[in-house]
Amino acid sequence: MLSKSAARTFFLVGTFVCFFAFILLTLDTVRRVPKQTNADQITDSVKLGKKLWEDNNCMGCHTLYGEGAYYAPELTKVYSRRGDAFIRAMLTDPESMYPGERKMVQYHFTDEELDALVNFFKYTDGVDLNGFPPEPDLNTNTVVDESGEVAAIGTRPKVFNQMCLACHALQGQGGAIGPSLDGVGSRMERKDIYNWLKDPISVKKDSMMPKLPLSDEDLTELSTFLSLVKE
Amino acid sequence: MKYQSQKVAYVFFATCMLLLGLQIVYGFIMGFAHMGFDALHNIIPFNAARATHNNLLVAWLLMGFMGAAYYIVPEEADRELVSIKWAYVQWASFVVVAVTAVIGFHFNWWEGRKFLEIPRPLDYLVVVNVLLFIYLIGTTIWKGKRYTTTSIVLFFGLLMAALLYLPGMIPTENQTMDSYWRWWVVHLWVEGVWELIMGGILSYLLIKLTGVDREIIEKWLYIIVGFTFLSGILGTGHHYYYIGTPRYWLMIGGIFSALEPLAFLGMAIYAIGMARKGGRNHPNKNALSWTIGCAVISFVGAGFLGFAHTLPQVNMYTHGTLVTAMHGHMAFWGAYAMLILAIISYSLPIMTGRNTMNGVASGFAFWTSNIGMIAMTLAFAVSGIAQVYLERKMGMDFLTVQKEIQVHFFGLVLAAALFTLGIGVYIYAFIKSGIPTKELGTNPDYH
Ligand code: HEM
Ligand SMILES: [Fe+2]
């Protein structure tokens, strides 16, 4: 049977070899990371964004690159998922986009700091994470229904996917905070949809739906799109 | 107990009890927040509760390791600690740093880096403090009459844990490298050098409790820690799959981390084997339960549940979900929390000359806390797996999924209540034991 000194040799040699390999791999990683992570795009504003991200421990609720806490949404791709205006709205007034839902901290960022955080997310969005986060592979929502092409994924206005799906669902995809939008075009006229989106409270006083940061073009595009989503 | 200075351990262990109690309180705050009861949000937002919960854990585990070292090292080295006074200074300064850090978290004073939230100025104080500790332990071993494998493994574990704290301070402006270095600390601690500390403490306990020959126990100790490093060092790669580091980590991290459970399996077989083999019928059954329990539950929590999400194909979907929380809870509990509860159960009766952990109370604390933790792990598992399927596979929105799984947090809180009951009884028995007596070895039964 193995002696104690042989066991010690096994321990020392094994540890040394693995540690040495780990150091070599680390050197190689340090060399390659700048390219894979677009280090040339880390501007001063992105650096400030990272600093704010750390100083406020956003990672204590959110994940970024899948790391952090599991209380709030994963933010690596939030820039393409929600867009500039949505992120700014959340960071200015966290109740603005998901009123009455799970709470985020109310921050008081300056304009420069808001830019920095948005730029930080724009940067993380572009980093090559070897395929993370994964595409939902059981998602069957690409089917086109009777309403024709209009409701198919590719033709939805981008702003619809970014803002509306956060709370509403269409064809089974999206949130369940507000009512489903399936068939909304049969229930409402385009003009009513337009007015509703422009300021929900003016139409229905006790509405939970926030006034979204939408431009005039957004309003026109969305109301046209939704008016075509028939039963 | 042979040496007066071993009693220094008592203040460390007492602090462990206090911090563990507080850690549990913050756990409940988060459990309720997940259920939608977030009345404390304005005073203690989730991220503050979270940082406090994690750092109290790390703080009391480190306190426990230090207490264990102060208890074990004089006996192994066959001499008194070089300075009792400085050991108390080291304890007091550690408490001050930990308390300052935790209070700071409530005032947005931290670094938002998971597990390393302690703000930079305090990091330096931690380093100074740990250096003092290493110095006291190191010189005691150095000046002692004998060098045992157990005390050497324990010492190097503690020394390397201190050194590995440093990479976490490497400045970088790249989020990817930030994570990269952070794992040098967190992973190489829990799946590397802390296992050395664990091996050292378990060996000491097994030598004392089972009466098996030291040579045999220490030989196995080398083999097990050998496996730990063989798999654990390159196993760090399982944190480098999806953070912007090169693709080869998928392969390296996958293969080596898949081997990590072997070290934990070895530890479990070793502990059970030695307990069977040992002829000695030690009266402190409770300490033996915690010792064997530690080896077994660490295999389940770290080895088995770690393996469950360590392959890159699986981790792609579970990364950043509650599945990680499932594993984290049972791994830390089994490997490190139970280890410290074991050494406390063993040493406290010797220090105070009284054993309050006998009979019904001991079994109750052990079984209730373990069953509670297993149930908590199940609740995390169910919610984690549901989250993976609904959010990652079906593409449902984050908050919608959270509503779906809210009910499992009710289960979690119930299980946590059971767990807390067990811990409560343990702490109660700890308090009832009183403080260390003046005389040495008042209770020869428990040596
Ligand atoms: C006592 C030993 C261990 C402890 C205390 C422990 C604890 C933890 C904790 C707390 C995390 C969460 C870290 C975070 O999210 O920031 C984690 C992550 C992880 N652990 Fe362990 N662990 C141990 C052993 C193991 C072993 C042996 C394996 C593999 C077989 C393993 C596999 C993993 C993986 C793959 C993750 C990453 C999850 C992710 O981010 O996707 N762990 N561990
Ligand atoms: Fe790890």
Question: What whole-number distance in Å separates Cα of residue B80 and Cα of residue B78?
Answer: 7
Nearest to A65 among B38, B175, B394 (CB): B175
pLDDT of residue A142: 45
Q: For chains A and B, what is the number of CB pairs under 8 angstroms? A: 216
Domain coverage including residue A30:
7-36
Q: Looking at the domain assignment, is residue B76 inside a domain?
A: yes
Q: If pLDDT is split at 50, 70 and 90, which confidence band does A139 have?
A: low
Same domain? For A32 and A50 the reply is no
Q: Could you give the 3-state DSSP secondary structure of residue A68?
A: strand
Number of domains in chain B: 1
Residues A94 and A21 both lie in one domain: no
User: Per the CB < 8 Å rule, is A4 touching B222?
Assistant: yes
Is B23 domain-assigned?
yes
**Residue A76 DSSP symbol:** T
Length of chain A: 231
Taking all residues of chain B, what is their mean pLDDT, rounded to a whole number? 94
Instruction: Evaluate whether residue A52 is within a structural domain.
Output: yes
Instruction: Report whether pLDDT(A144) > 50.
Output: no
Within A65-207, residue ranges assigned H as helices are: 78-92, 111-126, 158-163, 184-187, 190-198, 200-203
Q: Is residue B406 part of a domain?
A: no
Last residue of a domain, one of A94, A126, A158: A126
Probe ligand 1: pick from B116, B191, B332, max atoms within 8 Å of CB?
A: B191
Are residues A57 and A22 part of one domain?
Answer: no
Residue labelled with tokens 């009910």: B407
Name the strand (E) or helix (H) holding B151: helix B149-163
pTM of the model: 0.92
CATH number where A89 lies = 1.10.760.10
Residue at B97 is within a domain: yes
Tally of domains within chain A? 3
Give the residues surrounding ligand 1 with Cβ less than 6 Å away: A 66-67; B 114, 190-191, 238-239, 257, 260-261, 298, 302-303, 306-307, 309-310, 315, 318-319, 324, 327-328, 331-332, 335
Q: Domain range holding B2?
A: 1-122
Rounded-to-integer distance, Cα B336 and Cα A121, Å: 37
pLDDT digits (tens, 9 = 90+) for A16-44: 999 999 999 999 999 999 999 999 999 99
Q: Identify the helix (H) or strand (E) that includes residue A67.
A: strand A67-68
* CB B128 within 8 Å of CB B61: no
Token pair belonging to B119: 């703000």
Q: Does the pLDDT value for residue A150 go beyond 60?
A: no
Burial environment of residue A159 by CB neighbours within 10 A (0 to 12, 13 to 18, 19 or more): buried
Q: What does B94-146 look like in DSSP terms, one character per residue?
A: HHHHHHHHHHHHTTT-S--STT--S-HHHHHHHHHHHHHHHHHHHHHHHHSS-
Does residue B430 belong to any structural domain of this protein?
no
Q: Can you tell me the mean pLDDT for A122-135?
A: 96
Q: Residues B197, B65: contact at Cβ < 8 Å?
A: yes
Give the model's confidence band at B347: pLDDT under 50 very low, under 70 low, under 90 confident, else very high. very high
A78, A93: one domain: yes
Is residue A148 predicted with pLDDT exceeding 80?
no
Within-domain flag for A62 = yes
pLDDT band for A172, please (50, 70, 90 cuts).
confident
Instruction: Identify all chain B residues contacting A105, using CB atoms and an 8 Å cutoff.
Output: 45, 47
- Cα–Cα dist A134/B242, whole Å: 10
With contact defined as beta carbons under 8 Å apart, do B211 and A74 qualify?
no
State whether A59 and A122 are in the same domain. Answer: yes
pLDDT at A205 over 90: no
Q: What is the pLDDT of residue B280?
A: 73
Interface check for A38 against chain B (CB to CB < 8 A): the answer is no
Q: Which of A60-64, B2-6, B320-324 has the lowest mean pLDDT?
A: B2-6
Which two tokens mark B376?
């908590």
pLDDT reported for residue B446: 53
Are residue A120 and residue A55 in the same domain, yes or no? Answer: yes
Q: What share of chain B is helix, strand, coil (3-state, %, to 5)?
A: 80, 0, 20
Confidence tier at A87 by pLDDT (50, 70, 90)? very high
A-contacting residues of B 32-61, CB under 8 Å? 33-34, 36, 38, 41, 45-48, 50-51
The answer on pLDDT for A140 being more than 70 is no
Give whole-number Cα distances, B422 to B145, B310, B366, in Å: 41, 31, 7
pLDDT of B445 higher than 80 = no
Chain segment B274-306, per-residue pLDDT in tens: 998 887 778 899 999 999 999 999 999 999 999
- Under the banding of pLDDT at 50, 70 and 90, the label for residue B417 is very high
Is A137 within a domain?
A: no
Do residue A63 and residue A22 come from a single domain?
no
Amino acid B441: pLDDT:
55
Mean pLDDT of chain A: 89
Q: Which pLDDT tens digit goes with each residue over B75-109?
A: 999 999 999 999 999 999 999 999 999 999 999 99
- For A136, the closest of B174, B395, B400 (CB atoms) is B395
Q: Percentage of chain B with pLDDT > 90?
A: 87
pLDDT at A18: 97
Helix (H, G, I), strand (E, B) or coil at B61: helix
Q: What is the pLDDT of residues B63-79, one digit of tens each?
A: 999 999 999 999 999 99
Residues whose CB falls within 8 Å of the CB of residue B360, separated by 6 or more in sequence, listed in order? none
Specify the DSSP class assigned to residue A179. Answer: P
Q: Is A134 helix (H, G, I), strand (E, B) or coil?
A: coil
Q: CA of B199: how far to CAs of B97, B173, B430, in Å?
A: 28, 37, 25
Question: pLDDT, tens digit, for every residue of B7-24?
Answer: 999 999 999 999 999 999
Residues with Cβ within 8 Å of B184's Cβ and at least 6 positions away in sequence, in order, are B164, B167, B168, B236
Please check whether residue B2 lies inside any domain of the structure: yes
Do A201 and A153 share a domain, yes or no? yes
Residue A163 maps to a domain: yes
Binning pLDDT at 50, 70 and 90, where does residue A145 land?
A: very low
**Is A71–B30 a contact, with Cβ atoms under 8 angstroms apart?**
yes
Q: Is residue B444 part of a domain?
A: no
Q: List % helix, strand, coil for chain A (3-state, nearest 5).
A: 55, 5, 40
- E-state strands within A137-226: 169-170, 173-174
Say what the pLDDT of residue A156 is: 82
A contact residues 141-200, partner B, Cβ 8 Å cutoff? 141, 165-166, 173-177
Q: Tell whether A133 is covered by a domain.
A: no
Task: Say which CATH number the domain at A149 has.
Answer: 2.60.40.420
What is the per-residue pLDDT across B352-383, written as a single tens digit (0 to 9) for each?
A: 988 877 778 888 999 999 999 999 999 999 99
Determine contact: A20 vs chain B, CB below 8 A: no
Percent of chain A with pLDDT over 70: 93
Q: Assess if residue B67 is contained within a domain.
A: yes
**Which pLDDT score, from 0 to 100, does residue A170 have?**
87
By C-alpha distance, the chain B residue nearest A57 is B112
In a domain, A136, yes or no: no
Number of neighbouring beta carbons within 10 Å of residue A32: 15
